[in-house]
């Protein structure tokens, strides 16, 4: 468990070295039992965050989040895609929203 935490912290820390001036980072966690989705906006660009903290299921997420999540679900864990984000495991993801990126619903 400690190694998993250290690995996760390493990934988060390594992402903080990227230019964070042009994107907002969202943590998306899907409860394995209830399928409820928790969304947390991370960083200083969260003031105008329009996402809710909880959604009843993935289908209730905005379409732009669903699209990125669908692609990340097909990738290997910890494979970072700058335009999307990355996947920690089957239930935890980090999604990026670039400044000026169009969001549909």
Q: Is residue 37 part of a domain?
A: yes
Q: For 70, phi and psi rounded to 5 degrees?
A: -60, -40
Domain that holds residue 84: 2-98
Number of independent structural domains in the chain: 1
pTM, two decimals, is: 0.76
What integer pLDDT is reported at residue 36 of this predicted model? 98
Contact 28, 92 (CB under 8 A): yes
SS3 of the chain: helix, strand, coil, percent, to 5: 30, 25, 45
Q: Is residue 89 part of a domain?
A: yes
> Tens of pLDDT along the chain (105 residues)?
445 555 555 555 555 555 545 788 999 999 999 999 999 999 887 887 889 999 999 999 999 999 999 999 999 888 888 889 999 999 999 999 988 776 765
Q: Is residue 104 part of a domain?
A: no
Q: Is residue 13 part of a domain?
A: yes
Q: Is residue 58 part of a domain?
A: yes
**Residue 1 to residues 9, 32, 36, Cα–Cα distance (Å):** 12, 18, 24
Q: Is residue 103 part of a domain?
A: no
């Amino acid at each position: 468990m400690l190694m998993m935490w250290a690995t996760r912290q390493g990934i988060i820390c390594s992402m903080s070295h990227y230019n964070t001036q042009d994107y907002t980072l969202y943590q998306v966690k899907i409860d394995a039992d209830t399928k409820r989705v928790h969304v947390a906006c991370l960083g200083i660009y969260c003031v105008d965050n329009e996402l809710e903290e909880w959604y009843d299921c993935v289908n209730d997420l905005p379409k732009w989040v669903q699209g990125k999540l669908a692609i990340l679900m097909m990738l290997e864990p910890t494979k970072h895609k700058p335009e999307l984000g990355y996947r920690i495991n089957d239930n935890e993801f980090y999604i990026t929203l670039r400044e000026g990126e169009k969001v549909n619903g």
